[in-house]
């Protein structure tokens, strides 16, 4: 699989059009099309943008070696998720939920933990 084919796989796996994928990494749909079709090569900046935006292992994107998914620490994953949600302009459920969580006191956190535990949503890491 070529780097362009790997880019296409990432785009398709995320259910994105050329235009939407390009918006996420800061280029036009024509640029993404040219990369996917092997006309243009991936630049270092494009690799960094794709890896950051879609949690992709840089070595896999460049060479096809290793696992596709980048391994993030729990803290990095949480920080990145919150940053993405906060960047959205709409008043999405995710944004409202994070806002609600930020207002919980210790008793609220304990109650939420009990609910999550009873629902089987908490896993030991």
Same structural domain, 7 and 48: yes
pLDDT tens digits for range 42-65? 999 999 999 988 999 999 999 999
Give dist(CA 123, CA 74) in Å, integer: 13
* pLDDT computed for residue 124 by the predictor: 62
Asked if 65 and 59 count as a contact pair (C-beta separation under 8 A), the reply is yes
Residue 120 CB neighbours (<10 A) = 7
Q: Which residues of the chain have pLDDT under 50?
A: none
Domain containing residue 114: 74-118
**pLDDT at 73 (0 to 100):** 85
83 and 46 in one domain?
A: no
Look up residue 25 and give its two tokens: 């990494």
Phi, psi (5° rounding) for residue 2? -80, 165
pLDDT value at residue 125: 55
Report how far residue 119's alpha carbon sits from residue 114's, in angstroms, rounded to the nearest whole number: 9
pLDDT at 72: 82
Angle subtended by helix axes 18-25 and 29-36, to nearest 10? 100
pLDDT at 88: 81
Q: Which domain-ending residue is among 63, 88, 104?
A: 63
Question: 57 and 78 share a domain?
Answer: no
């Amino acid at each position: 699989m070529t780097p362009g084919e790997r880019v296409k796989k990432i785009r398709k796996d995320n259910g994105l059009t050329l235009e939407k994928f390009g918006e996420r990494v800061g280029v036009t749909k024509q640029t993404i099309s040219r990369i996917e079709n092997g006309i243009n090569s991936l630049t270092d900046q494009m690799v960094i943008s794709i890896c950051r935006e879609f949690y992709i292992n840089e070595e896999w994107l460049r060479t096809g070696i290793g696992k596709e998914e980048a391994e993030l620490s729990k803290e990095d994953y949480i920080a990145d998720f919150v940053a993405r949600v906060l960047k959205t302009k709409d008043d999405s459920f995710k944004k409202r939920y994070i806002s609600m969580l930020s207002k919980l006191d210790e008793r609220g956190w304990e109650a939420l933990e009990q609910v999550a535990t009873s629902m089987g949503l908490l896993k030991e890491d």
